[in-house]
Chain A
């Protein structure tokens, strides 16, 4: 069976992707990273965390990559200042109402080279991340330079 293909432009790269897949899938298939929190593979997208927002040319608002299907001729930008500012605000809002200081991890330094210990400390015991050994919130908070939370 020949799959119908559409042409999309992501961050200036012209890509040919199968019709019907999501923007997130198209980006990840082509090694372009879009951060997600609420997205889980094999489940229907929930599109509620708003971490995966991207700019789509012609759209009035930022679009969620996890639940937006690719259309032919779509021009997508995943890493503009506007998108990054939005994701940072999302993280700040989420972390303001979070019982662990994820963005101030004692083991994780300012960069990967500064990390004291790749394992997470016990103050994360509230979360599943301690069990999984990986905290997506922490990783994103570091990437988006979340420091002092604006809300109390």
Chain B
């Protein structure tokens, strides 16, 4: 039991108390259910691979998005992490392909482009007809650095390179907006509809 508690404790967001609670919950769990959980964990590690094209996590190779005939193949949206794809897919408005960098350039932490899936992105540009690349890195220092770096790298290769717009979040407050967000929001203002 002590070993189990220790293993739980290593997970993100799990403190010593939660680890204990989870371990004792497992003890009381029916054997079959515990087995299902254990198998799910093993499966994740054994069956999930990175898509050879977009580098997203997937069970089938290439992934479902990359093989979907309904998606626009000349459009690639570059994201930092696989979870960003889930968020973008939830909107239902994007119909192109993705590319996951698995990280972000962070000069102060010594993380450079060589640690990201940049080479793989260049490879895709060489083999496929790409009209536009949408950079969907986070709007912070690291995301800015990554977007600027990729922009510089990709532009000479032909495609249009764009970045997600910045502005006020839904449910936000103009009063509390920071200077940069507010000036970008002003620059990107739009005609009122309806």
State yes or no: do A and B come from one complex. Answer: no
Interface residues of B (CB under 8 A from A): none
